[in-house]
Amino acid sequence: MDAGAVAAALEEARFDARQNSRHEDLGDDVRGRAELAEWERLTQLLADAAPGTVYAPEADDVVRAELAAAAAAAAREAELREAARIAARADELQALRELGTLEQTEPRHGDEAVRDELTRRAGSYVQVDVDAWFAYALAARLGHYRDPAAREDAAGLLPAPVLAHAALLAELARLVPGVGVDQLAFAARLAQADPAATAQLADFLVRVPACAEGSPA
Give tens-digit pLDDT for 94-127. 999 999 999 999 999 999 999 999 999 999 898 9
- 124/156 Cα distance (integer angstroms): 19
Give tens-digit pLDDT for 129-142. 999 999 999 999 99
Whole-number pLDDT of residue 210: 40
Whole-number pLDDT of residue 213: 45
Whole-number pLDDT of residue 212: 45
Give tens-digit pLDDT for 177-217. 888 877 898 999 999 999 999 999 999 998 886 444 444 43
What mean pLDDT comes out for the span 74-80?
95
Residue 10's H or E segment, with its range, is helix 3-21
Whole-number pLDDT of residue 57: 83
Whole-number pLDDT of residue 205: 92
What mean pLDDT value characterizes the chain? Answer: 87
| Cβ count within 10 A of residue 14 | 13
Whole-number pLDDT of residue 22: 72
Per residue, the 3-state secondary structure of 14-43, as one string, reads: HHHHHHHHCCHHHCCCHHHHHHHHHHHHHH
DSSP sequence for 124-171: T---HHHHHHHHHHHHHT-GGGGSHHHHHHHHHHS-HHHHHHHHHHHH
Residue 27 has pLDDT above 60, yes or no: no
Whole-number pLDDT of residue 39: 86
Express as a percent the part of the chain with pLDDT over 70.
93
What mean pLDDT comes out for the span 20-43?
75
Whole-number pLDDT of residue 160: 96
Whole-number pLDDT of residue 38: 86
Model confidence pTM above 0.85: no
